[in-house]
Structure 1
Amino acid sequence: MRALTTVPVLLAVLLAIPAVLTAAAPAAQSAGSRLHITAGGTPNHPRVYSGGGKHVRGIDVDADWVVVEGFTLDRPSAPGVEIRGDHVTLRDTTITAPQGGDGDGIRFFGDYIAIQHNTISRTSNRGGAHADCMQTFSSDSPPSNHVRIEGNRCEKIDNMCLMAEGPNDGEGDGKGHTTDFLIKDNFCETLVASQTLMFEDVQRATITGNTFAAGPDHAIGLAIHSTGARVEGNRVDPSIPCEVGIDDSSREGYSGPEPGCDP
C-alpha cells in the first residue's frame, strides 16, 4: 500500500499564501467530470481555482503555486484529490465516500503543501483497500516536505487520518527525505486501523491540538527513523489506551507524552 506550541516562524512564513492572488480561475469541466489542473501561478500570484460548492468527480493538481478551494466531491474516484506539485493549497472542500482504488480521500506529493479546513468522510476498506483520509509516500513519486495539515475533519474513516511514508521506509525509492509536517487542530475518527496517524521515515513532525476520536489502539505511530517529533496538547478519547507508539529508531529528538506502546 502505497501538541499546542508555537509553530516555527520559518515554517509559517514559507507556507503563507501571499495576500495578492490572481482572479479565480474558472473550472472549465462540467459537473460530474474530474477537474485536472495543470496551469499554475507564481510566488506573488498563485492561481486560484474556486469552486463555489461546484460538484466534481475528483481533482488532480499537476502544477505549482495553486490554490484549490470550495469544491464538493460526492463519491469521487479515489483518491478524491491528488496533488503533485509545490506550493499547493487545498481548502474548504468536501470529499465524501471515495470509490475504487485504495479508497483514499487525499493523496499529496510535493513541497509546501497546505491542506486546510476540508471535510473528508466515509472512506471504506471494502475489497481489500486501505482507505486513508490522507496519504503520502515516496515510491516513484517525490517526497513531501514542509506540509501543513490544519483544521480538517476526517470523519468515519476506516483506515488512518494520515499515513505518511518517507523514501527510506523499506517500500520507498530511497531518494531524498520526507520532513517538516505540522498536523494541527484536526478532528480524526479512525474506525478500523490500529492508529490514527502513522509516520514511517518522516522527520520533524509537529502534532498539536488535534482531537482523536474513538476507534484505534493508539493515536500516533512513529516508526522507521521518524525522529524529532513533537507531540503536545491533543485531545484523546478515553477509549484509546495509548496516545503515542514509538520504536527505538524514532526516539531521537522526540518531545511529548511518554510513549506507551509500539507504533
Structure 2
Amino acid sequence: MRALVLSAALVLAAVFAPAAHAADSRLHITAGGTPDQPRVYSGAGKSVSGIDVDADWVILDGFTLDEPSAPGVEIRGNHVTLKNSRITAPHGGDGDGIRFFGDYIAIEHNTISKTVNRDGAHADCMQTFSSDSPPSNHIRIERNRCEKIDNMCLMAEGPNDGQGDGKGHTTDFLIKDNFCETLVASQTLMFEDVQQATITGNTFAAGPDHAIGLAIHSTGARVEGNRVDPSIPCEVGIDDSSREGYVGPEPACAP
C-alpha cells in the first residue's frame, strides 16, 4: 500500500492523475492551512483506498472509498472537516470506517456502510479513544448515514475510562441528525468518560438492545428528539457515575 503525501496546491491538478493516484493509493495529507484559509482537498467523487490526515485546518470534500484499509479515514489534527464522502466495506485492523483524534473536528454529510466484525474486529462506523493519542474535544457529527454497521455508529472513549492514558479530557460532542443502523453491538452510541455530549434528532434503526450508552463519568449529556425504532427496548442506558447533569428521557437500562 502506497501512502501519498500531497500539498493542497497539488490536489486538483495532481491527486487524481491516473498514473499517480490509482484506486489502490492511500492519500496522506500533511499540509494544513490557517484559520483564515483552511486547506481544501476536493475529491470530486474520485476513489482512493483510504485517507490519513496529520495536519490542522483541513477540509476533505467528496471522496469515495470502496473497500479501503481500515480505518477508511483517520484524522489526527485540529479544525479538520470531513464531508460529502462515501466509505464502503472497510477491511483489516478493527474494521472502522472513521477514526478521529483532535479538537474541533466536523464529520458531516458522509455515508459509511458495511463495517463487519470479521476475525475478532469491532467494526464501528466511527471511533475515538485516548490511549497514546490526543483526546478529542469540540466534535460535531451531523447528518451522516451509518448503514449496515456491525458494531457501533460511534464509540467514544476518554482518557480516564480505565484503558486510556489519563491525559486531558474528552468533551463537547454534538451528535445531530444522523441515521444509525447497528446490526450486532448492544448499543448504537457508546460514551465512556466523555463529558457534555448532546445527542439530538438522530434516527436509531433496528438491532441493538439500547440506542445510547453513557458510562464511566460521561456526565452532562443531553438527549432529545431522537427517533428510536420500536424494536429497540431502551433509548438511554446509564451508570450511576454518569447521571450528574444528565437531561433527557428517563434512562431505562444499564449502559
Q: TM tier, shorter chain?
A: over 0.9
Aligned to 1:19: none
Give the match's secondary structure for 1:36.
strand
CA contact (8 A) 1:24 1:47 kept: no
Q: Distance in 2 between matches of 1:145 and 1:24?
A: 30
Aligned to 1:98: 90
**Pick from 59, 65, 76: which aligns with 2:68?**
76
**Pick from 22, 28, 36: which aligns with 1:31?**
22
Deviations 1:39-89 (A, max 9, x none): 000000000000000100000000000000100000000000000000000
Which of the pair has the greater relative contact order for Cα pairs under 8 Å at 6+ separation? 1
2:247 maps to a residue whose letter is: S
Give the match's secondary structure for 1:126.
coil
Q: Distance in 1 between matches of 2:71 and 2:11?
A: 23
Tell me, yes or no, if structure 1 residue 149 matches structure 2 residue 141: yes
Aligned to 1:40: 32
Q: Distance in 2 between matches of 1:75 and 1:170?
A: 33
Q: Distance in 2 between matches of 1:61 and 1:31?
A: 19
Unmatched tracts of structure 2, length 5 or more:
1-7
Q: Distance in 1 between matches of 2:78 and 2:88?
A: 25
Aligned to 2:169: 177
Aligned to 2:130: 138
Give the match's secondary structure for 2:140.
strand
Q: Distance in 1 between matches of 2:165 and 2:95?
A: 23
Q: Distance in 2 between matches of 1:31 and 1:88?
A: 25
Q: Distance in 2 between matches of 1:30 and 1:74?
A: 14
Aligned to 1:50: 42
Matching of residues 201-220 of structure 1 within 5 Å = 201-220=193-212
Aligned to 2:103: 111
Q: Where has structure 1 moved over 4 Å in runs of 4 or more?
A: none
Q: Distance in 2 between matches of 1:74 and 1:39?
A: 24
Give the match's secondary structure for 2:119.
helix
CA contact (8 A) 1:190 1:215 kept: yes
Give the match's secondary structure for 1:249.
helix
Aligned residues: 242
Q: Distance in 2 between matches of 1:126 and 1:25?
A: 34
Q: Distance in 1 between matches of 2:91 and 2:167?
A: 31
Tell me, yes or no, if structure 1 residue 61 matches structure 2 residue 53: yes
CA contact (8 A) 1:121 1:155 kept: yes
The alpha-carbon deviation at position 98 of structure 1 amounts to 0.1
Deviations 1:154-185 (A, max 9, x none): 00000000000000000000000000000000
2:138 maps to a residue whose letter is: H
Q: Distance in 2 between matches of 1:71 and 1:207?
A: 27
CA contact (8 A) 1:123 1:131 kept: yes
Q: Distance in 1 between matches of 2:35 and 2:9?
A: 15
Percent of pairs with identical residues: 86
The alpha-carbon deviation at position 25 of structure 1 amounts to 3.7
1:224 maps to a residue whose letter is: I
The alpha-carbon deviation at position 31 of structure 1 amounts to 2.4
Q: Distance in 1 between matches of 2:114 and 2:145?
A: 11
Tell me, yes or no, if structure 1 residue 163 matches structure 2 residue 155: yes
